[in-house]
């Protein structure tokens, strides 16, 4: 309210910038939620698979030698799953296996089994098609620009976090 | 693998577009997660408040007459909270109140109390400062462009969903 009484250009500009920052965060969250919710529904319908389980398999697929539980937790992209519980369930289904870490005999690593790798690949192929379909119709230039800008924001957030730490 | 054996321009272009769509989704998710996780930590440290509770108060603040539970659930921006449980907790703290819906005597509406409104406003002011700080240092033009592009993606996702339904 008080701000409206001080309509200097600098003030207006600062208020606009504030609104833009807040708006970009709410749009990021809303857009991300919309896609996440569709992916969740389709994974469930098509494969009876939860998003946190799919995410865990995705993280393991990138590292053939496997990951320790703490590394795995740190890499997860979605919240809402207990990593130990998810690993237990996937191990019972034969998709992942726990093994002693060759570098540290007291520690355990989790890795994909061959069946896990095959199962993940077929789900990941469909998942990619869903995402491609969701963005289909938007100009390639918009997508490329969005990738570029999000890349800058990510780098900026990482750097500013190091400053605070 | 087979794709590499068919290096027509169309094929290459399609593969690039696929990669861009997948990349933009993963960047959206990662960026959104980075901000969300910082907001979560700070809400907890500064106010002992969880993000789902803050989100619920934010949704109620926009509608002074209050919302029914199902409307409230539909508007929540973050996952990981049971709306009934959160409402119970906030009601015990005197921040929200349940009232009979004047339009439907069998239904209940939830709205902010005066204390809830004051409490939310002071948290929301700090929340806005955190977000502004996170984006500070990025060119205003980048932020404005990102807002524009995310707006287009949101609209596109909404429309494409209607096509499917």
Give the tens place of pLDDT for each residue, B93-136. 999 999 988 888 788 899 999 999 999 999 999 999 999 999 99
The answer to whether position A33 is within a domain reads no
Establish if B67 belongs to a structural domain: yes
Domain that holds residue B99: 48-164
pLDDT band at A108 (very low <50, low <70, confident <90, very high): confident
Q: What are phi and psi of A137, to 5 degrees?
A: 105, -25
Torsion of CA A119, A122, A125, A130, to 10 degrees: -90
List CB contacts (< 8 A) between B20 and chain A.
135, 140, 143-144, 147
- Within 8 A by CB and 6+ apart from A81, the residues are A50, A52, A53, A55, A56
What's this model's pTM, rounded to 2 decimal places?
0.84
- A22 in contact with B at a CB cutoff of 8 Å? yes
Residue carrying the six token digits 């094929």: B11
**Complex confidence, ipTM:** 0.83
In-domain check, residue B147: yes
Tell whether A19 is covered by a domain. Answer: no
In chain B, which stretches have pLDDT less than 70? 1-15, 80, 162-165
The CATH number of residue B76's host domain is: 1.10.10.10
Tally of CB atoms within 10 A around B56: 29
DSSP classification of residue A93: T
Instruction: Report how many domains make up chain B.
Output: 1
pLDDT tens-digit profile of A63-95? 999 999 989 998 998 876 789 999 999 999 999
- Any chain A CB within 8 A of the CB of B31? yes
Which residues from chain B sit within 8 angstroms of residue A131, using beta carbons?
21-22, 25
């Amino acid at each position: 309210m008080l701000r409206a009484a001080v309509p200097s250009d600098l003030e207006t500009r600062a208020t606009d910038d504030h609104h833009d920052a807040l708006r970009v965060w709410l749009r990021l969250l809303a857009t991300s939620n919309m896609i996440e919710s569709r992916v969740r529904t389709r994974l469930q319908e098509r494969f009876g698979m939860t998003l946190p389980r799919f995410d865990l398999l995705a993280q393991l697929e990138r590292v053939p030698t496997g990951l320790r539980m703490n590394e795995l937790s740190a890499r997860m992209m979605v919240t809402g799953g207990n990593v130990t519980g998810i690993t237990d369930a996937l191990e019972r289904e034969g998709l992942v296996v726990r093994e002693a870490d060759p570098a540290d005999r007291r520690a355990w690593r989790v890795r994909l089994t061959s069946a896990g790798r095959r199962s993940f690949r077929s789900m990941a192929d469909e998942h990619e098609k869903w995402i491609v379909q969701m963005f289909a119709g938007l100009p390639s230039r918009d997508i490329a620009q969005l990738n570029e800008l999000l890349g800058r924001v990510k780098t900026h957030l990482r750097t500013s976090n190091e400053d605070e730490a």
